[in-house]
Amino acid sequence: MVAFVKRFVHENDVDSIQELEAKEEDDVLVRFKGMELQGSVEYGSTGSAGKDFGGMQSSKPLAVIRPAVSEDVAKVIRLASRSQHLTVAARGNGHSINGQAMAHRGFVVDMRSMETRIEVGPTGKYADVSGGALWEEVLKRCVSGHGLAPRSWTDYLGLTVGGTLSNAGVSGQTFIYGPQTENVTELEVITGKGDVTVCSHTQNSELFFSVLGGLGQFGIITRARVLLQPAPNMVRWIRMVYNEFSEFTRDAELLVTREEGDSFDYVEGFVFVNSNDPVNGWPSVPLDGNYPFDSTRIPRTAGPVLYCLEVALHHRKDDRPSTVGIRVEQLLGQLRFCEDLRFEVDVSYMDFLLRVQRAEKEAKDGGIWDAPHPWLNLFVSKTDIADFDRVVFKNILKRGVGGPMLVYPLLRSKWDNRTSIVLPDGDIFYIVALLRFCFPYTKGLSVEEMIAQNQEIIKSCNTNGLDFKLYLPHYNSKEGWKQHFGNQWTRFQERKACFDPNAILAPGQKIFPKNW
């Protein structure tokens, strides 16, 4: 009925349209209040559901749903599908940058409110984990209860399982095991039609691959079966400094392409400013306060930025120190980092994986965790990474971003083409993560200037014809999304038509408007 009346409302008569929408919302809320959920619903007051880590967008959902069981999620989706405008966004831990987990005047489903279930299977090969569980919770339960751990991580573990699986989930183990999306074998998903479906490589496989890296467009993940392996208890954590980008990339690629089991267990890298700036420069490198950065060791030919390879080797407490040392020296022996600019510590496996949580605490104390974060993440093809260094790191970003500038190689062969993730061409590509922090009391760039700088970076990549894709992508136009997906766009659209034909889910991604 609403649709019928609306056709007669003049297009420019915004007030009338808003009145109709408001009336429809009232009707829906009446029906909603009559619906029996095991969980709870909060109307009106938005709290954290209208914000995210990016801190640059806000929205007003109609209601926040705190589901108790999967069927609650299904009921909410089914109700939304009967209305003209309503949308539903799953909210993991709200660590998106650009409002991806928001639903303006729609329903936000708070996945954290479902009971956290982490059940290790009888063979110890996997754990069944709820979609709203934090990776930090998964780590602690699996290690302390069973001496087991997932194989593939993100750097920061205050993210939900469903939230990272909707993107990819990348860290220093990705070169061995692939992203987190490659390390789950079964999902329970509530589709945009409100169907509760179990899917895997062999059962409802189209849904399984659609949802992985699917930006929340095809279903809400309520359970994931995560692969496990025995957890080590110690980690040798090492950083080495490079003056030349070509040597840094040569060594990083050497380490990630060695035979499985014959390299480090973790390989990452970052760029830092060649100055004593406490945030962006030399002091950001040492792992242990007792060994400061000796800048006299930097070659005289060094430019405005330097590079750091970060690696880690798992070992056990009862391994002889000499055994670990010999293995480390064997692996480092072939690398060409600056002599005497090497830093290392032994830490427990848990402390290593929870390293960013310590940084989080410091950032919260310093007031920069809750300030805006105009982050930019890209995948750049190996063929173009030297140009990226020349144009972006050595030029646009030569003073840093007020936080880490990660850059390290990943192997295409570890990513299944059937998921919804899009990547640049070639066997090797680099992740570049510009993790900007705004310092309220110092003379850094303003948020607006940071956003403008991000746009300048993307424009430079396009102008120079670099082969890249945004990771954790964000576009405001359909044209932007079409270009992003390239020859995968048709498949992505077909998947949407199949699993969420009314475009109810994850409206904050701004890919498909409702009634597209």
Give the active site residues.
Answer: 95, 155, 268
- Judged by CB under 6 A, the stretch of 139-147, 153-161, 273-281, 492-500 that binds ligand FAD is 153-161
With CB under 6 A as the contact rule, the residue among 159, 207, 241, 305 that binds ligand FAD is 159
- Rounded-to-integer distance, Cα 516 and Cα 507, Å: 12
For residue 287, what are its two tokens? 């792992």
Q: What is the CA radius of gyration of the chain?
A: 24
Contact status: 80 vs ligand FAD (CB under 6 A): no
Strands 376-381 and 428-434: antiparallel
Hey, what amino acid is at 180?
Q
Stretch of 12-20, 28-36, 79-87, 158-166 contacting ligand FAD, by CB under 6 A: 158-166
- For position 91 contacting ligand FAD by CB under 6 A, the verdict is yes
Query: Which residues, in sequence order, are CB contacts of 204 under 8 Å at separation 6+?
Result: 197, 198
Residue 90 binds ligand FAD (CB under 6 A): yes
Q: According to the binding rule CB under 6 A, does residue 506 interact with ligand FAD?
A: yes
Confirm or reject binding of residue 469 to ligand FAD (CB under 6 A). Answer: no
353 sits near ligand FAD (criterion: CB under 6 A): no
Does residue 101 bind ligand FAD (CB under 6 A)?
yes
Quick one: which of 75, 95, 223, 236 contacts ligand FAD (CB under 6 A)? 95
- Per CB under 6 A, does 173 bind ligand FAD? no
CB atoms within 10 A of CB 483: 13
Per the DSSP assignment, residues forming a β-bridge with 432 are 378, 407
Residue 275 CA: distances (Å) to CA of 120, 253, 380, 389: 48, 27, 26, 18
Q: Is 150 in the site for ligand FAD (CB under 6 A)?
A: no
Task: Return phi, psi of residue 515, to 5°.
Answer: 65, 40
Choice from 53, 242, 270, 499 touching ligand FAD (CB under 6 A): 53
Which helix (H) or strand (E) segment holds residue 344: the answer is strand 342-348
CA distance 514 to 516: 5
Does residue 171 interact with ligand FAD by CB under 6 A?
A: yes
**Is residue 168 within the footprint of ligand FAD (CB under 6 A)?**
yes
Show the site string, 200-219: x = touches ligand FAD by CB under 6 A, - = not.
---------------xx---
User: Does 223 sit near ligand FAD (CB under 6 A)?
Assistant: no
- When binding is defined by CB under 6 A, the residue of 61, 163, 194, 409 that contacts ligand FAD is 163
DSSP string, 456-502: HHHHHHHHTT--EEEES---SSHHHHHHHHGGGHHHHHHHHHHH-TT
* Residue 83 interacts with ligand FAD (CB under 6 A): yes or no: no
Does 92 contact ligand FAD by CB under 6 A? Answer: yes
**Residue 155 binds to ligand FAD (criterion: CB under 6 A):** yes
Q: Residues 273-312 vs ligand FAD: string with x where CB under 6 A?
A: ----------------------------------------
93 contacts ligand FAD (rule: CB under 6 A): yes
Give Cα 249 distance to the centre of its chain. Answer: 23
At its nearest, how many Å lie between ligand FAD and the CB of residue 435? 7
Q: From the CB of 103, what's the least distance to ligand FAD, in Å?
A: 8
Provide, rounded to whole angstroms, the least separation between the CB of residue 454 and ligand FAD.
16
Could you say whether residue 166 binds ligand FAD (CB under 6 A)?
A: yes
- Does residue 412 come out as left (phi exceeding 0), alpha (psi in the -120 to 50 range) or beta? alpha
Q: Can you spell out the DSSP letters for 272-310?
A: EESS--TTTSGGGS-SSTTS---GGGS-TT--SEEEEEE
> Which residue from 57, 98, 164, 249 is in contact with ligand FAD, where contact means CB under 6 A?
164
Q: Assess 160 for contact with ligand FAD (CB under 6 A).
A: yes
Give 378's contacts (C-beta < 8 A, 6+ positions apart).
Answer: 431, 432, 461, 468, 469, 470, 471
Which residues from 109-128 bind ligand FAD, rule CB under 6 A?
111
Total binding residues toward ligand FAD, as defined by CB under 6 A: 36
226 binds ligand FAD (CB under 6 A): no
Single-letter amino acid code for the residue at 4: F
Residue whose CB is nearest to ligand FAD in the complex, by number: 162
Nearer to ligand FAD, 391 or 432 (CB): 432
Using CB under 6 A as the binding rule, whether residue 162 contacts ligand FAD is answered as yes
Residue among 303, 286, 172 at smallest CA distance from 245: 303
Report the C-alpha gap between 18 and 6 in whole angstroms: 10
Q: How far apart are the first and last CA of the chain?
A: 19
Q: In what order do the strands lie in the sheet with 107-110?
A: 40-43, 63-66, 107-110, 88-91
**Which CB sits closer to ligand FAD, 341 or 400?**
400
Among 51, 253, 509, 512, the residue binding ligand FAD under the rule CB under 6 A is 509
What is the token pair recorded at 118? 């982490």
| Residue in 154, 243, 284, 453 binding ligand FAD, rule: CB under 6 A | 154
Report strand pairing: 196-200 vs 219-230.
Answer: unpaired
When binding is defined by CB under 6 A, the residue of 86, 127, 221, 432 that contacts ligand FAD is 221
Q: Which is nearer to ligand FAD, 424 or 508 (CB)?
A: 508
The footprint of ligand FAD (CB under 6 A) covers 52-53, 89-96, 100-101, 111, 131, 154-156, 159-160, 162-164, 166-171, 215-216, 220-221, 472, 506, 508-509
